[in-house]
Chains A and B, each alone.
Chain A
Amino acid sequence: MPDTLPDLWPEIETENIVTPLAILRFQAGQLRTKTKGLIEAVVRTVSVSDDSVFHELVVIAPALDRYEYVIGTFKHAQHLVYPVRVQSESTETCFCSTQEELLEAVSAILRSEKVRSVISSLIAQSRDVNQLTNSSGAK
C-alpha cells in the first residue's frame, strides 16, 4: 500500500447551493413590492406519495377575495433537489439539472406574456375594488 492514498472526491460546492424552494420563495417575495402591495405571491409545498416534493408558485390578489392563480409547478425528488421538473402554462415543460437552469426557467415563466397579462389584469381589478371600497367608506 502506498504511503498516501489519492483523494478521489471532486471539488464539492459548499457555499452557493440554492434549493428550488429558496429560489421560488425569493421570487415570490418580490411581487408585493413590485406591485405596490396589490398582488402577492407565495410558494406552496406539498409532499406527494411517490417520494417527491411539489412546489407551486401562486399569485394571490388580496382585494379579489384572495383569488389564486398558479403560475408554475416545480417537482423534484424528496432527497435530491435537482433535477426539477418545471411545468407552466406559459412555457414548455422542462427539466432543470442545475440552479442556473432553474433560474432561467423561472425567469422565462415570470416574463412570459401570459403571466404579465394575468398580473396586469389582477392589478387593474384590485385597484377598481380598492377604489370602490374607499369611496363607499368615505360616504
Chain B
Amino acid sequence: MNSEITFLFWNVNRRPLASLVGEIAREKSVDVVILAESDGDDTAYIESLTNQTGRAFNKPYANSDKIDVFTHLPRDSVRPVYDHASRRMTVRRLVLEKTDLLLVALHFQSKVNWSDQDQAGEAGNLCREVCRLEDEHGHQRTIVVGDFNMNPFEPGMTSCHGFHAVMTKAIAQKNRRMVSGSDYRFFYNPSWNHFGDRTPGPAGTHYYAPGKPIQFYWNHFDQLLLRPSLLPYFHDDFAVLDRCGERSLLSQHGQPDETVGSDHLPILFRLQFSSSAETLNHA
C-alpha cells in the first residue's frame, strides 16, 4: 500500500514555475502537488513533473478553476467530491489501498478585498461544508491545505465558528468541544510551530510590509490543518521550503524571491501509514 504520501502546496502567483515545481517534486518525492494561482499551463506542469520524477503525473478531473491538483497516483485514486469555484475550494477523495481521506484544498479570499470579519464569516461557511461532507462520507480523516490569507492566530482560523484549528496536538486530540450548547470539531494546525527565528525554516510563508501601525512582516498564510484522527499518521513532517536543491527561494534580504519562485513559499507535508492502516478506517 502507499505507506507514506507526500504533499506539496504552493501559491505560485501566476508565475511559470513548472520546472521548479518538478524539481521540488523530484527532490522531496512528492506524490500530490496542489497549486493556487497557477498560470493555467497544465501541460507544462504535467510534463515537468513527469520528466523530473520519472512518474506519470496527471491532473485528475474536477472543476476547480482556482486550485490545481496533480498526482502520479492512479486517476481513480483522487476522485472529485465537491467544487465551489466562487468559494475557491475543492474537495477530493484520496483512495489509498486500505483507507481513504478527504483532501480539502483552498485559496481563501485576500485581505486586499475582504476584512478580517468577512474572512471569519466565510471560514465558518467553508467549515460547515467540510463537516457536512465528513458526515456524508462517514469519517473525519480530513486534510485541509491552502493559502488561507489569514494567520493561524486570526479569528477565522481559531474560532469555533471558523476552522477551529488549535496549536497543539494534545488539545486537538480532545476531538471536539461544546460552546453554548453546540458541538465543534477541532483541527490541528502545525503552522503554530513555525513562527519567528527559532524555527528550522523561514519565519513565515509570505512577507508583506505596508506602512501600517500593526505589522507582522512574516505571515503564515499557507497552512495545513489535520483532523485528530489523522494525527497518528502525522509525525511532524511539515516544512516551509526555502530552497530547491542549491537554489534559494529567498532573496538576499531573506524574503521570498519572486524572480526565482513566488511571493509565497511552498509548504510540504507527509503522512505515514504503517501496518496499522487497517485500523485507520475506524478512526
Which residues on A are within 8 Å of B, measured CB to CB? 46, 48-50, 54, 56, 64-70, 72-73, 87-89, 118, 121, 125
Contacts and interface: CB of A to CB of B under 8 A. Distances in A.
A89 to B, nearest CB: 3
Contacts of B93: 65
User: Which residue among B63, B82, B93 has the maximum number of chain A CB atoms within 10 Å of its CB?
Assistant: B63
Nearest to A125: B61
Interface in B77-124: 79-87, 93, 121, 124
Nearest to A50: B121
A49 B127 CA distance: 14
Interface residues on B, range: 10 to 19
User: Which residue among A49, A70, A73, A87 has the maximum number of chain B CB atoms within 10 Å of its CB?
Assistant: A70
A108 to B, nearest CB: 15
A70 B79 contact: no
A48 B84 contact: no
Given A54-B125, A68-B82, A70-B86, 11 more contacts: A48-B121, A48-B124, A49-B124, A64-B80, A65-B79, A67-B79, A69-B82, A69-B84, A72-B86, A73-B86, A89-B85
A46 B121 CA distance: 13
Contacts of A56: 84
A64 B82 CA distance: 11
A58 to B, nearest CB: 9
Nearest to B132: A44
B161 A69 contact: no
B65 interface: yes
A68 B81 contact: yes
